[in-house]
Amino acid sequence: MTSPDWSAYRAFLTVLREGSLSGAARALGLTQPTLGRQIADLEHALGAVLFTRSPRGLMPTDIALNSRPHAEAMEAAAGALQRAASGGTNDAVGVVRITASEIIGAEVLPPLLAQFRRAHPAINVELDLSNRVEDLLHGAADIAVRMVRPSQDALVARRIGEIGLGLYAHRHYLASAPPLTNLTALALDHALIGFDQGTPYLRELLARMPIAHADFVLRCDSDLGQLAAVRAGVGIGFIQHGIARCDPDLVPVFTQEIGVTLDVWLALHEDLRTSKRLRLMMDHLSEGLAAYVAQSQA
């Protein structure tokens, strides 16, 4: 029996993500019967049922859920293959895929990428905004901007520096809120913005501060969501100094008493060092992020 090709696994992943054949067909630009045949062929080749119908749409079976990471690894490898073929090693042409946290990807990288595109218009950029630590070894991205030191040996990593975060509030919030007298009254008198579930690192940080999780009046695990809430005047929250200092309406609060620091790293798979477009991007991001780090000191 012929092994299923990549299109069948792509159809499988898209149905998983969309929850229906019709939604997956729209996402892939295919007809629903064509997509249905691809799923049926994959089930036949694997000898397993991947989806069952329910009033809520197609429900993945346990086999489908267990197979998802393997299909996603194939997806990452296929994307890496396409990017590798998009330009030669000595040409400033092709595609570069960058993964970064939500806040860095949305607030810091866009102007840097605009500069890069003006200098190298033949290089296209894919930007994956995620707080997950993507696996560069399996092709999920070419370059990663990370706030923790990369632990995989096959990565080339550059430490850019250390950025600081502090508490900030919009000036309109402070104009109508009680005076900021001392840290003890901070949670009692003011609206604090923080994480919902958070990561072990965030929970550990919170344990060392005079703030409890129950003190957050708005909880959100998206850094962009928290930033938007502070900008809207909901209350006081943590913001990177380099971002807050670009907005004159954001006022620092208890900067001497409360602060957090994070390392900034750039990482690249060592096998990709010979690619000119990736070297150009690494050098450009190193310079741009170093300037951001310089304005992000406490």
Indicate which CATH number applies to the domain containing 134. Answer: 3.40.190.10
| 167 found inside a domain | yes
Question: Rounded distance, CA 187 to CA 206, Å?
Answer: 13
Same domain, 240 and 267: no
In this structure, are 130 and 250 located in the same domain?
no
d(CA 71, CA 137): 16
Residue 132, in any domain of the structure: yes
Residue 283 has a pLDDT of: 93
List the domain range (segments joined by +) for residue 176.
Answer: 162-261
Q: 161 pairs with which residues across the strands?
A: 264
Could you tell me if residue 297 is inside a domain? no
265: which residues sit within 8 A by CB, 6+ positions away? Answer: 144, 145, 146, 147, 148, 149, 150, 157, 158, 159, 160
- Residues 178, 54, single domain; the answer is no
Residue 137 domain flag:
yes
Nearest alpha carbon to residue 286 among 122, 112, 163, 92: 112
Last residue of a domain, one of 28, 50, 83: 83
Whether 201 and 245 map to the same domain: the answer is yes
pLDDT of residue 201: 67
Identify the pLDDT of residue 248: 95
Does residue 90 sit in the same domain as residue 122? yes
* Claim to verify: residue 145 and residue 180 sit in the same structural domain: no
Decide if 1 is inside a domain.
no
Assess contact for 191 and 217: CB atoms under 8 A: yes
Domain boundary among 64, 83, 102: 83
pLDDT of amino acid 152: 63
In this structure, the answer to whether residues 221 and 173 fall within a common structural domain is: yes
The total domain count for the chain is 3
- d(CA 292, CA 163) in angstroms, rounded, equals 8
Q: What is the pLDDT of residue 90?
A: 64
In a domain, 25, yes or no: yes
Q: What is the pLDDT along the chain (298 residues), one digit of tens a residue?
A: 467 777 888 888 888 888 888 888 888 888 888 888 888 888 888 888 888 887 777 888 988 888 888 888 777 777 766 666 666 566 788 889 898 989 999 999 999 999 999 999 999 999 988 766 555 545 577 888 988 877 665 577 889 999 999 999 999 999 999 888 888 778 788 899 988 887 666 777 776 677 778 888 899 989 999 999 999 999 999 999 999 999 999 999 988 888 888 899 988 877 666 788 888 999 999 999 999 999 888 7
What is residue 183's predicted lDDT score, i.e. its pLDDT? 80
The answer to whether residue 298 is domain-embedded is no
Find the CATH number of the domain harbouring 31: 1.10.10.10
Domain membership flag for residue 72: yes
Whether residue 251 sits in one domain with residue 226: yes
Question: Are 149 and 193 in the same domain?
Answer: no
Tell me, yes or no, whether 166 and 257 share the same domain. Answer: yes
- Is residue 269 located within the same domain as residue 156? yes
Query: Looking at the structure, do residues 193 and 274 belong to the same domain, yes or no?
Result: no
Res 110: pLDDT: 96
